[in-house]
């Protein structure tokens, strides 16, 4: 089992400034999964509760001289502590950036087995190495034992089933203000109803025995299946409008945890250019897909993808 690559400048920037801060908020521990073509950061894929998040990168968008080999079809996966990874990367960058003028080889990342101090058992590490003009710096990030063939297979299957797309996606309102709003909303209750209509309405609501608090965002951009607005629903209240759309089959509704919803919004730390909300078929989960543009264009950057799946609290109600 071998893994070795050099981080590109773009890869360093993307990981350090955007992806790792965002993913760190999703949970401390994640699976890091490398294949011949891709690198994945996966949260909660093997357990049913909690927000699942999938960050996928074409290896070229992070690395150059990417070498991977394993007896399991060149796939390697392990668990890693993201805050340690982030810290190690930041610390090595401080040295690397100072010495990069003399540094032709770049910042190397590789999988190693080492004997830690006071131990007789060699342990696996993900190691960063920067060779400067006069010195070399190494940062070892402890990782779990690489996953067994069966576990990698399970992770791969979970990953494939997490790619299921909703029939309708609506473009989220401006993420910072949505995040701000949900942050305040979470003081009021714990369960949030999320409704998405094919005419581009997103409706969020917390309802308890003491209060109903909601927000309706209308005329959002729709991807996938769409429906025309019904004449005469303009004068209705937000609640009635979405209830009628659900009855007509033009909208779906799920209940999720407010905490999960807020957590997924923290992916905005990765500075996506847009986000889309959708509900998986049969209301299985709420999906939020973050979109990244190729820098300087309005075209989707297909080499990066990030999406979250929020577990539904009461699957029977829909």
Residues at the site binding other proteins, with contacts judged by CB under 8 A: 173, 177, 180-181, 184-185, 187-188, 209-219, 237-239
CB of residue 32 to other proteins, shortest distance in Å: 36
Cα(172)–Cα(273) distance, integer angstroms? 11
CB of residue 190 to other proteins, shortest distance in Å: 13
Nearer to other proteins, 47 or 237 (CB): 237
Nearer to other proteins, 21 or 189 (CB): 189
User: Which residue, 110, 133, 111, is CA-closest to 122?
Assistant: 111
Nearer to other proteins, 212 or 282 (CB): 212
How deeply is 168 buried, as exposed, middle or buried, from its count of CB atoms within 10 A (0-12, 13-18, 19+)?
A: buried
CB of residue 219 to other proteins, shortest distance in Å: 5
Nearer to other proteins, 135 or 177 (CB): 177
Phi, psi of 131 (to 5 degrees): -100, 115
Cα(258)–Cα(255) distance, integer angstroms? 9
CB of residue 37 to other proteins, shortest distance in Å: 40
CB of residue 182 to other proteins, shortest distance in Å: 9
Residues 6+ positions from 275 with CB-CB distance below 8 Å: 171, 172, 175, 267, 268, 288, 289, 290, 291
Characterize the bridge pairing of strands 38-43 and 136-142. Answer: unpaired
Nearer to other proteins, 191 or 213 (CB): 213
């Amino acid at each position: 089992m071998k893994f070795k690559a050099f981080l590109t400048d773009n890869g360093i920037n993307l990981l350090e400034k955007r992806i790792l801060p965002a993913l760190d908020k999703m949970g401390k521990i994640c699976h890091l999964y490398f294949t011949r073509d891709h690198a994945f950061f996966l949260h909660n894929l093997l357990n049913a509760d909690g927000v699942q998040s999938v960050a996928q990168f074409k290896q070229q968008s992070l690395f150059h001289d990417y070498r991977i080999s394993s007896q399991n079809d060149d796939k390697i996966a392990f668990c890693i502590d993201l805050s340690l990874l982030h810290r190690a990367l930041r610390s090595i960058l401080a040295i690397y950036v100072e010495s990069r003028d003399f540094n032709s080889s770049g910042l190397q990342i590789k999988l190693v087995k080492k004997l830690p101090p006071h131990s007789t058992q060699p342990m696996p590490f993900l190691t960063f190495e920067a060779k400067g003009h006069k010195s070399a710096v190494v940062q070892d990030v402890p990782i779990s034992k690489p996953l067994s063939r069966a576990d990698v297979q399970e992770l791969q299957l979970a990953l494939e089933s997490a790619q299921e797309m909703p029939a309708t996606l609506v473009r989220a309102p401006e993420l910072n203000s949505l995040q701000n709003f949900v942050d305040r909303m979470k003081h009021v209750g714990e369960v949030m109803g999320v409704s998405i209509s094919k005419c581009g309405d997103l409706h969020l609501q917390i309802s308890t025995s003491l209060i109903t608090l909601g927000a309706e965002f209308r005329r959002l951009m729709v991807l996938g299946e769409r429906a025309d607005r019904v004449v005469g629903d303009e004068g209705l209240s937000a609640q009635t409008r979405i209830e009628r759309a659900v009855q007509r089959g033009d909208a779906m509704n799920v209940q999720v945890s407010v905490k999960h919803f807020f957590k997924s919004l923290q992916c905005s730390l990765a500075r996506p250019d847009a986000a889309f909300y959708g509900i998986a078929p049969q209301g299985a989960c709420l999906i939020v897909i973050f979109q990244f543009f190729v820098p300087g264009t309005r075209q989707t950057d297909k080499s990066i993808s990030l999406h979250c799946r929020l577990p539904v609290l009461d699957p029977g109600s829909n």
